Chain A
Amino acid sequence: MKFAVVRFPGSNCDQDCVAAINALAGASADYVWHKDSSLEGFDAVVLPGGFSYGDYLRCGAIARFSPVMKSVKAFAAAGGPVIGICNGFQILCESGLLPGALVRNRGLHFVCEHVFLRTERTDSKFTNAIAPGQILNIPVAHGEGCYFADDETLAALNRNGQILLRYSDALGEITDASNPNGSRENIAGIRNEAGNVFGLMPHPERACDPLLGSTDGLVVFQSLIGKC
């Protein structure tokens, strides 16, 4: 399974994503420059974290108009799996591939810490390798990660089972204290209605090696491998 990792000017988690994916059996990853327009030969697309275009205007607002995004939209419309991590999640929301938006953290601080995540469903393309009840320990690192959607959108996300990850405590309880950024309903990751586009603020690629303190991020990539 071949992953495209898109590089925007200012992406900085692209190498981590490629390294994490290349270490997995049955998967390989290669870079795609944001000015390229072909995703030919790729089975999945990753929009990595970073500060595309310096986060100017709004996070992800300018990257959304990069040439490659037309291809990413076509790829997603054809059912191809797309994962947006952190800044990648912001780009997916800005481009309308996912509902809602990511705004300034509640406490105004940039948060950079390990968080616990509860998986809301393990029958998705992106979470099927997660054991039911398993609480993931994965780091976040963002200043604008507060997920916002209006009441109507939020109700639809719940109704359609689109919320895949929520910030929780170590036991999986959804509490205000375990919400690092003020996200509505502790939302850490959502998918689109069709189920093939996934955005999350935590960085699974930074939790793929024991040296990094956790290997819980592996399951996100493993879920996709062999399932598409």
Chain B
Amino acid sequence: MKALVTVMPKPSVLDPQGAAAAEAMRHLGLDAIGRVRIGKVVEIELPAGADEARLHEIARDLLSNPVIEDYSLEVVK
């Protein structure tokens, strides 16, 4: 099985990468876009039956920083 952890900057945090990418998209003619935010996805290979609660702890304590980021966890069987 696999776990996918998606980490996104909180809406209140300045995301200059997203702003720069949005500017480039507008420059390419995609005018009608709103805010663009850039996060990351962490893909973890796991043995079957891995402890999901433990995965949440790792996602919260290591893979994201709750001061500036939110995460979501998806387990793919």
The interface of chain A, by Cβ under 8 A from chain B, is: 57-58, 61-62, 65, 93-94, 99-101, 103-108, 146, 148-150, 182
Q: Which of B13, B16, B65 contacts A94 (CB 8 A)?
A: B65
Among B12, B16, B20, the most chain A Cβ lie within 10 Å of the Cβ of B16
Q: Judging by beta carbons under 8 Å apart, are B16 and A108 in contact? A: yes
> Which residue of chain B lies nearest to A109 when distances are taken between CB atoms in the complex?
B16
Bound complex: CA of A99 vs CA of B62, how far in Å? 17
B residues near A, CB below 8 A?
A: 9, 12-17, 20, 62-63, 65, 67-68
Contacts known (A61-B65, A100-B67, A101-B67); A150 close to B12, Cβ less than 8 A: yes
Query: Which residues of chain B are near A104, meaning CB under 8 Å?
Result: 14-17
Looking at chain A's contact residues, the main secondary structure is loop
Given contacts A106-B16, A108-B17, contact A101 B62 (CB under 8 A): no
Contacts of A61 on B, CB cut-off 8 Å?
62, 65
Q: Sort A-B residue pairs by CB-CB distance and give the 8 closest, nearest first.
A: A101-B67, A101-B68, A108-B16, A104-B16, A101-B65, A106-B16, A148-B13, A103-B68
Closest chain-A Cβ to B28's Cβ sits at a distance in Å of: 19
- The residue among A103, A107, A182 with the most chain B CB atoms within 10 A of its own CB is A103
A133 to chain B, nearest CB (A): 31
Question: How many pairs of A and B residues are in contact by the CB < 8 Å rule?
Answer: 39
Within 8 Å by CB of A65, from B9, B20, B62, lies B62
Q: What are 6 pairs between A and B in contact, CB < 8 Å?
A: A65-B62, A100-B67, A103-B9, A108-B20, A149-B67, A182-B16
* CA gap between A114 and B69 in the complex, in Å: 31
Smallest Cβ distance from B37 to chain A, in angstroms?
A: 12
Further contacts, 4 of them, CB under 8 A, given A58-B65, A103-B9, A148-B67: A101-B65, A104-B17, A106-B14, A108-B16
B71 smallest CB distance to A (angstroms): 12
In the complex the two chains form, is B67's CB within 8 Å of A182's CB?
A: no
A111 to B13, CA, bound (A): 20
Chain A residues positioned under 8 Å from B67 (CB to CB):
93, 99-101, 148-150
Chain A residue with minimal CB distance to B42? Answer: A57
Residue in chain A with minimal CB distance to B40: A57
Which B residues lie within 8 Å of A148 (CB)? 13-14, 67-68
Q: Give min CB distance, A86 to chain B, whole Å.
A: 17
- Interchain CA distance A182-B14 in the complex, whole Å: 9
Query: How far apart sit A196 and B13, CA to CA, in the bound complex (Å)?
Result: 28
- Is A146 within 8 A of B14, CB to CB? yes
- In the complex, A155 Cα to B15 Cα: how many Å? 22
| A157 CA to B14 CA, complexed, in Å | 20
Name the distance in Å between B43's Cβ and chain A's nearest Cβ: 14
Contacts of B16 in A (CB 8 A): 104-108, 182
